[in-house]
Amino acid sequence: MVSIEDYGEFETAWCPGCGNFGILKAIKQALVNLGRSPHEVLVASGIGQSSKTPHYLNCNSFNGLHGRSLPPATGAKIANHELTVIAVTGDGDCYGEGGNHFLHTVRRNPDITMIVHDNQIYGLTKGQASPTSEIGMKTKVQTHGVFNMPLNPLSLAISLDCSFVARGYAGKVSHLTSLIEKAIEHKGLSLVDVLQPCVSFNKLNTFKWYSERVYEMDDTGYELNDRVRAFEKSMEWGEKIPLGVFYVNEKPCFEDYLDVLKSGPLYRNPPATEKVNDLIDSFI
């Protein structure tokens, strides 16, 4: 039996009251509920407050470059596709610096779970606007208020036919846990965008602000593979902000196309040197 304790308890560098704590708790609980042992799990991240998460989990972990949690997560998944691979990233990391990797990982569709800590601000560098900051929000850099349109990660992912798209909230840990469980169990790239209050630098999108607006969708009122309806639903934002699974499209994932993985993970199948010799012989 796997227990929460197996995933360890660490001192963190996060501010007291940070939404990250709720997300960390939900990740641990989801992994325990699914019976995944720490050695079966890889958590990869980029740079940002969210990306410190792998340091606070007693499992395989990877903390790489800014914006680039997905490429190493893809690489690791190819090396050992039996691993449960989770890419933990943030709005600045994934939708800004790493936007290009996000688009192309959605297209590639590896069996990876993306958990995006979306606090609508840059926390690590102390409070600049991020790609999801609301119009009008004032920061120490956007002194006259943000005027760029915020990026809608759910609409973007659905438009790219991302195979699983969901939104959670750091203030609803049990709901978020169930979303992460579904995302991990889903075969293919799953995006869980998590609304996460930044208590130090985002004075607009606070716990109160989110709590007054978010609601759990019991039923979306459409088939989850209905892309147009999902897209429409993903645009609901403002007075009411829906949480839950927006879109699911079961389709082959990246690993399915790699014949070399059919006989098991690469670590169990070292390169066959005799085949290299045969190949070289064929040139002579």
Partner 1 sequence: MATQLVKGNTAAVIGALYAGCDCYFGYPITPASEILQEASKYFPKLGRKFVQAESEEAAINMVYGAASTGHRVMTASSGPGISLKQEGVSYMAGAELPCVIVDIMRAGPGLGNIGPEQGDYNQVVKGGGHGNYKNIVLAPNSVQEMCDFVIKGFELAFKYRNPVVVLADGVLGQMVESLQFPEVSEKPEIDTEWAVSGTAETRENLITSIFLDFNQLEEFNYKIQEKYDLIEEQEVDCDEYMTEDANIILVSYGISSRICKSAVDQARKEGIKVGLFRPKTLFPFPKEELKTIADSKECTFVSVEMSNGQMLEDIKLAIECSRPTELVYRMGGNLITMDQVLDSIRKIAGEE
Q: How far apart are the first and last CA of the chain?
A: 56
104: contact with partner 1 by CB under 8 A: no
By C-beta, is 101 or 233 nearer to partner 1?
A: 101
How many whole angstroms separate alpha carbon 112 and alpha carbon 125?
A: 28
Q: How far is the CB of 235 from partner 1 (least distance, A)?
A: 22
140: contact with partner 1 by CB under 8 A: yes
How many whole angstroms separate alpha carbon 118 and alpha carbon 170?
A: 10
34: exposed, middle or buried (Cβ count in 10 Å: 0-12, 13-18, 19+): middle
By C-beta, is 97 or 255 nearer to partner 1?
A: 97
Among 97, 111, 181, 193, binds partner 1 (CB under 8 A): 97
By C-beta, is 102 or 246 nearer to partner 1?
A: 102
Binding mask 107-136 for partner 1 (x = CB under 8 A): ---------------x-xxx-xx-x-----
Q: How far is the CB of 125 from partner 1 (least distance, A)?
A: 4
Instruction: Tell which positions 24-83 bind partner 1, by CB under 8 A.
Output: 47, 63, 65-67
- The answer to whether the beta carbons of residues 94 and 114 sit under 8 Å apart is yes
Instruction: Tell which positions 227-266 bind partner 1, by CB under 8 A.
Output: none
Instruction: Please report which residue ranges of the chain form alpha helices under DSSP H.
Output: 20-33, 70-79, 99-108, 153-159, 173-185, 207-213, 227-234, 273-283
Q: How far is the CB of 96 from partner 1 (least distance, A)?
A: 4
For the beta carbon of residue 206, count every other beta carbon within 10 angstroms. 14
Quote the tokens at residue 234: 């993903």
Mark the segment that binds partner 1 (CB under 8 A) among 142-150, 187-195, 204-212, 262-270: 142-150
Among 6, 12, 21, 99, binds partner 1 (CB under 8 A): 99
How many whole angstroms separate alpha carbon 176 and alpha carbon 169?
A: 6
Torsion, Cα of 229, 234, 237, 243 (10° steps): 110
| DSSP state letter for 258 | -
Among 1, 3, 16, 144, binds partner 1 (CB under 8 A): 144
Element (H, E) at 90: strand 84-90
Q: How many residues bind partner 1 (CB under 8 A)?
A: 20
- The answer to whether the beta carbons of residues 54 and 62 sit under 8 Å apart is yes
User: What residues contact residue 275 under an 8 Å CB cut-off, 6+ apart?
Assistant: none
By C-beta, is 66 or 187 nearer to partner 1?
A: 66
Among 58, 142, 200, 206, binds partner 1 (CB under 8 A): 142
147: contact with partner 1 by CB under 8 A: no
By C-beta, is 131 or 244 nearer to partner 1?
A: 131
- Residue reference for tokens 């004075």: 203
Q: Which residues bind partner 1 (CB under 8 A)?
A: 47, 63, 65-67, 96-97, 99, 122, 124-126, 128-129, 131, 140-144
